[in-house]
Amino acid sequence: MRIVLPPAIDPAAFAARDPAAAVFDLRGETMGTTWRASFAAPVGTDPSQVRIAIVARLAGLVAEMSHWAPDSLLSRFNRSASGTWTTLAPDFAHVMACGLAIARTTRSAFDPAIGRLVDAWGFGPIAVAAPPDASDIQAARATSGWSRLTFAPVGAHLRQPGGVALDLSGIAKGHAVDVVADLLRDAGIANALVEIGGELVGRGIRPDGDPWWVDLESPPGLALSPLRIALHGLAVATSGDYRRGAHTLDPRTGRPIETQVVSASVIHQTALDADAWATALTVLGPVEGLALARDYRIAARIVTLIDGDAREYLSPALTAMLVD
């Protein structure tokens, strides 16, 4: 068992620790998957009210950014006419600002504007009878790409250049994890572990003084030494095709990835960043991906599977977090 520790420990978390605090565990469904919130509850906390608040907050995010809901703000943007400016809600605007920045940094390995390609391959809400041919891919690429978008942060206005379809499935779930953790914090709950579909964020510590320990998700059947992470002020996200089959597209080619990456995990301060970076590293592969992770000090693990041989690659930032 390998242990991953955060770069810094918050002494205030230990000073405020209540060994007698009850730990509640709430669960539900959202975004086509499940959510979970475990937290050390201050005296007087009503978990039923916490659940109501979480469900409402998540429903609001779905109403803004789901590409599966035809009446969401995102779906309305995707259908809008060329030249139309859409005013984004605050969460949507934050995700777009961060997503466009990560798209630029990762040289389009992450791209929030590949909805037409996702639909062409049948990876979204629209079923297809057969994979797209070269002309279908070319047509979808012609109306895709983050660089075609114009985003005005002041006022949160996003311009539809014509035919662009957003797909935020590689970043919105991570943002939702951060949002739920922030909701708990604002309710006076400083010590919590939040998870949505395998993306996690840990804040504070458990009542027993331990951090929120999580084991890094690995593809089943591979002989990899386990990695256990102390999620104390950290988030982790994993991207891979082993859950739902091959579904990761390379935005630069419009085709499924050819990097033979089966899993890419990123540890970051926010689940939003971890989510988007994990997607990008899955696309980039171990050589280009690790080089970029090194340059931007991203703590990452990439796992490849070639002819039945699994190999693990750790970025320098993640290696520095390992302890014996």
Domains recognised in the chain with CATH numbers: 75-159 (1.10.3980.10)
Indicate the pairing of strand 2-4 with strand 227-231. Answer: parallel
Token readout for 305 is 């599977």
User: What is the Cα–Cα distance from 148 to 54, expressed in whole angstroms?
Assistant: 35
- Residues contacting residue 79 through CB under 8 Å, at least 6 positions apart: none
- Residues contacting residue 107 through CB under 8 Å, at least 6 positions apart: 252, 292
Per-residue CA distances from 113 to 19, 126, 148, 177, 249 (Å): 47, 16, 9, 22, 12
Closest Cα to residue 274, out of 246, 239, 310, 304? Answer: 239
pLDDT in tens, the chain (324 residues): 899 999 999 998 888 888 989 999 999 999 999 999 999 999 889 999 999 999 999 999 999 999 999 999 999 999 999 999 999 999 999 999 999 999 999 999 999 999 999 999 999 888 899 999 999 999 999 999 999 999 999 999 999 999 999 999 999 999 999 999 999 999 999 999 999 999 999 999 999 999 999 999 887 778 788 899 999 999 999 998 665 556 799 999 999 998 789 999 999 999 999 999 999 999 999 999 999 999 999 999 999 988 888 899 999 999 999 996
- Residues contacting residue 103 through CB under 8 Å, at least 6 positions apart: 110, 111, 112, 146
Residue 33: strand pairing partners:
30
User: What is the Cα–Cα distance from 5 to 139, expressed in whole angstroms?
Assistant: 47
* One-character DSSP codes across 121-157: TT-SSS--SS---HHHHHHHHHT--GGG-EEETTTTE
The pTM for the full model equals: 0.95
Helix (H, G, I), strand (E, B) or coil at 92: helix
